[in-house]
Structure 1
């Protein structure tokens, strides 16, 4: 009996320990059930609440996943003052601040709360309460689209925010009054809004500071002030990047025998005006610096009118007084790059980019080689300069007849083939390959129409490396067509070029101007953007449908 008593006591203690110990059972099915709320304080949907702390108790032990980021609280509170902790099966939020009177607060936990054993997140967990007599119930919902989605982009990082119309802050300076995150498809909904007038924005909050970084993050805005006195649905945001800093000249000064003009951001257009520009004075641009070169010294100040424009349309119109003096500073070496590795059918286009303006070319050592001993001499009529004021981008264009069966063509240039404006010769030799395609290996054509937008259009074939393989400009109508295409998988991108300047223009927030629309072909059944072309194929009858414009639709 004595031993039986000890055995019974041991078994009872073991059972009590097993019941108290929180761990995953050995064997059996995996726990896939999320934590279930047992109690909330304040109670969900309760009125006249002004808590100092918030408690939520669950039916099992829990943990929190980055609560300061993932818990969305509206209207805005000072998150730096919050203390969010979890102890066993309870979440505790210390507010450490006064809440606004007669205001509905929403704590959206998203996937923050997870069970301890399997990390199963709670679903649709919200706490809504009011500091006044009523619960605000208005909604603002819609969809976010990204004009230029980058690899790894996630719509769930996009914030949609509402600012009170009289608020002097905006999306670039402070967090919004109301906010929500988009889901994986770009859909969003902001709930429990107080009736009023608001300004609406959307942005990809990559650094999680609840405001947009206009130099690095994609964003969009609705121009009109929204009066929310009923549920607003169908809102559309089309986010894209656009540095809102106006372009300006930061300094200009001599640099050795040259003259530098430094700007704060990249211009889209550069216009330098003086009768010697393109004759004895040339320039190039890199790293936010325009460098002027002169064939001879000019000790007196030379007035040069400088007109610049950035991608947003901001302009600089000023003048500098340049000097080109003798200098003992050693001239920079002449270097170049080639667009090697390109494929072509019959028309071979070779592009050489130099770090300085080119003055002379020795054609005796410049040619195209094929087979083992055959060459095509490059002559002056084959060559053009992209900009005669810069002379730093050289284009060589010629037609290769089908009678030459070779596949690889190599441009060759010995050292000292090119001489720059400072008298420097190229030290490196040039050897760049280009692959000639056979007609029978090409896809015959790709064509279709664009609906829901108005020309002009820029239509681009985008390859799997996100590079532009082909591009056409459509001035009128809505029909597009590409011919003789290298077989591969492509996407079709369309830019609605409203001003016909042959480039995409981003939004201009200070001038309240939307970005030009960008959209893609999408198969209406599969929702895939990919188009696979094979040799001899013709794909026609494609329809590209423009998405809704930014705003309420």
Structure 2
């Protein structure tokens, strides 16, 4: 009898649980209709109200998805205090906090409220109410884009925010007073703004904390204070990463016979001032670790001036006491990487990167092989440092005459060819292949005209992915250049306005109220979503590009191409 009662009890519990559980009905046609709002409390656009709770009723059962992320509330409130629940066909929001006086609040629910059958989100769902006598109605709108376009073609998780002028916080330190999400095209609109003066920011919010992470998330700022006393449109933001944290030495210590200086961030410029620098004192940079080597000094220290500059222009100028000690610690082996596989026309441009500074080269065991028995001895004056202070990167320019018709040339270095500053040699041989290009298979010319009066330009021909620089040129006093003799294929084109003439792109610096240097990309006029330039062997492509404020370059005459007979001297 007890067993029967126990079985019946379990059966009743299962039935009750099944009846109480909110679940998706089985069978029938697929539900494609989003839930419709039946009622809302407080009433939309009501005034003189300070609700403790907000209640939305729908025509079907609904659920709530990540409300703290998807529900955008302006002005800001403490979302951590807010509790959002969905029960049957209702969503109830308990604010659990006091709202400001005489303030218009906007709750934009985006896609947070969905039906339970097919997760169809309620459309265009927004609640506006005022704790004062009237609804603020001012608007700010514009567009957000990336300076360096990501692989994802559509804008996602990008926010735009307003901070009150006298607020001591900003996009890196706190959430904004007003906030809105950009759509997939980058367009945004902040509504129901109270008249006043504001600072404006945009950022990619990957971690959903409603502020930007300066070391990992691209962001942008509007340089001037916005006096919003009427609707403002056409505000554009260009997102990029800009680490404005302090450039400093985190720690320094002896490591074996060397001395390490660990920095807070990667330096873009290094200047070392010491009388024996580049003779007995050398350095290598690996990520944020600056390691110093001394060929003679042991159990003693030297005072060295170190001047560093980071990507945003901050400078660290300090004295460091470098101490070099005797040590039995095993020395790091000399290792390398080399740009094998690069094509060339008349000259091999080899680049070898070592993990430590190299002091000596045995030229007798360094040469180029181009068949089973023939070699080209590498001459001393072919070897150079692009950066005269950095002995970890060697460049070798090797001329190849037209009389050599081989297709592949191999740079060969036997073991013990390169000796580092610690006296160690490369233990293994080094081999790298380079392909000699056939002029008949090359693009004759890509003639670029940039429609701008700006005089200092960096023009970069990129591979199809837009990540690798194939060719680069720095232009002064001209806006025209022709890229010649390169392989046929699909390319991108990028132009940088090099305002400080340092031959690289510089990010923004919010502390100094300095915007990032402008970057412009070619866009195919027949397909604005495409930046591809297709060039064919033996062809000349004449392209005029126009720089625009929305960071694009559009071709005026992309199809003005002509077939060149490379065997006809007159046409060449």
Change (3 A) 1:452 1:143: farther
Superposed, 1:422-433 pairs within 5 Å as: 422-433=422-433
Structure number with the bigger relative contact order (C-alpha 8 A, sep ≥ 6) is 1
Q: C-alpha separation between the residues in 2 aligned to 1:445 and 1:246?
A: 45
Give the equivalent residue in structure 2 for 1:508.
Answer: 509
Question: What do residues 236-277 of structure 1 show as CA deviations (whole Å, max 9, x unaligned)?
Answer: 111110110121223344333223332211111111112211
Give the equivalent residue in structure 2 for 1:10.
Answer: none
Give the equivalent residue in structure 2 for 1:214.
Answer: 214
Q: C-alpha separation between the residues in 2 aligned to 1:21 and 1:373?
A: 78
Give the equivalent residue in structure 1 for 2:541.
Answer: 539
Q: CA deviation at 1:115?
A: 2.4
Q: Is the 8 A contact 2:464 2:532 kept in 1?
A: no
Give the equivalent residue in structure 2 for 1:468.
Answer: 469
Change (3 A) 1:487 1:45: same
Change (3 A) 1:309 1:123: same
Q: Is the 8 A contact 1:262 1:290 kept in 2?
A: yes
Superposed, 1:18-29 pairs within 5 Å as: 23=25, 26=28
Query: Does residue 439 of structure 2 align to residue 439 of structure 1?
Result: yes
Give the equivalent residue in structure 1 for 2:562.
Answer: none
Give the equivalent residue in structure 2 for 1:225.
Answer: 225
Question: What do residues 485-514 of structure 1 show as CA deviations (whole Å, max 9, x unaligned)?
Answer: 222211111111011110111111111111
| RMSD, matched Cα | 2.0
Q: CA deviation at 1:403?
A: 3.0
Q: Is the 8 A contact 1:41 1:56 kept in 2?
A: yes
Give the equivalent residue in structure 1 for 2:277.
Answer: 277
Question: Can you give the 5+ residue segments of structure 1 that lack an aligned partner in the other structure?
Answer: 1-16
Question: What do residues 522-541 of structure 1 show as CA deviations (whole Å, max 9, x unaligned)?
Answer: 12342021111221222113
Q: C-alpha separation between the residues in 1 aligned to 2:76 and 2:42?
A: 18
Q: Is the 8 A contact 1:335 1:428 kept in 2?
A: no
Q: CA deviation at 1:25?
A: 5.3
Give the equivalent residue in structure 1 for 2:408.
Answer: 408
Give the equivalent residue in structure 2 for 1:186.
Answer: 186
Question: 1:521 is paired with a residue of what secondary structure?
Answer: strand
Superposed, 1:262-301 pairs within 5 Å as: 262-297=262-297, 299-301=299-301
Q: Is the 8 A contact 1:453 1:496 kept in 2?
A: no
TM-score (norm 2): 0.88
Give the equivalent residue in structure 2 for 1:491.
Answer: 492
Change (3 A) 1:544 1:375: farther
Question: What do residues 189-241 of structure 1 show as CA deviations (whole Å, max 9, x unaligned)?
Answer: 00011111111101111111001111111111112111111001110111110
Question: What do residues 416-443 of structure 1 show as CA deviations (whole Å, max 9, x unaligned)?
Answer: 1111111101112212222222111111
TM-score (norm 1): 0.91
Q: C-alpha separation between the residues in 2 aligned to 1:448 and 1:426?
A: 44
Question: 2:39 is paired with a residue of what secondary structure?
Answer: strand
Q: C-alpha separation between the residues in 1 aligned to 2:23 and 2:407?
A: 72
Superposed, 1:89-168 pairs within 5 Å as: 89-152=89-152, 154-168=154-168
Question: What do residues 95-145 of structure 1 show as CA deviations (whole Å, max 9, x unaligned)?
Answer: 111111111111111122222222222221111111111111000000112
Give the equivalent residue in structure 2 for 1:244.
Answer: 244
Query: Does residue 541 of structure 2 align to residue 522 of structure 1?
Result: no
Q: Is the 8 A contact 2:24 2:116 kept in 1?
A: no
Q: CA deviation at 1:300?
A: 4.5
Superposed, 1:354-369 pairs within 5 Å as: 354-369=354-369
- 70-79 or 368-377: bigger deviation: 368-377
Superposed, 1:29-44 pairs within 5 Å as: 30-44=30-44
- 186-195 or 142-151: bigger deviation: 142-151
Q: CA deviation at 1:22?
A: 6.7
Change (3 A) 1:428 1:46: same
Q: C-alpha separation between the residues in 1 aligned to 2:112 and 2:491?
A: 39
Give the equivalent residue in structure 2 for 1:50.
Answer: 50
Q: CA deviation at 1:387?
A: 3.2
Q: Is the 8 A contact 1:450 1:546 kept in 2?
A: no
Give the equivalent residue in structure 1 for 2:479.
Answer: 478
Q: C-alpha separation between the residues in 2 aligned to 1:96 and 1:222?
A: 34
- 291-300 or 92-101: bigger deviation: 291-300
- Flag as ranges the 4+ runs of structure 1 deviating above 6 A: none
Q: C-alpha separation between the residues in 2 aligned to 1:129 and 1:388?
A: 66
- 397-406 or 124-133: bigger deviation: 397-406
Question: What do residues 144-189 of structure 1 show as CA deviations (whole Å, max 9, x unaligned)?
Answer: 1211123337523111000111111111111000000111111100
Q: C-alpha separation between the residues in 2 aligned to 1:89 and 1:439?
A: 72
Q: C-alpha separation between the residues in 2 aligned to 1:156 and 1:426?
A: 48
Q: Is the 8 A contact 2:23 2:116 kept in 1?
A: no
- Size of the aligned set, in residue pairs, is 529
Q: Is the 8 A contact 1:451 1:546 kept in 2?
A: no
Q: Is the 8 A contact 1:297 1:326 kept in 2?
A: no
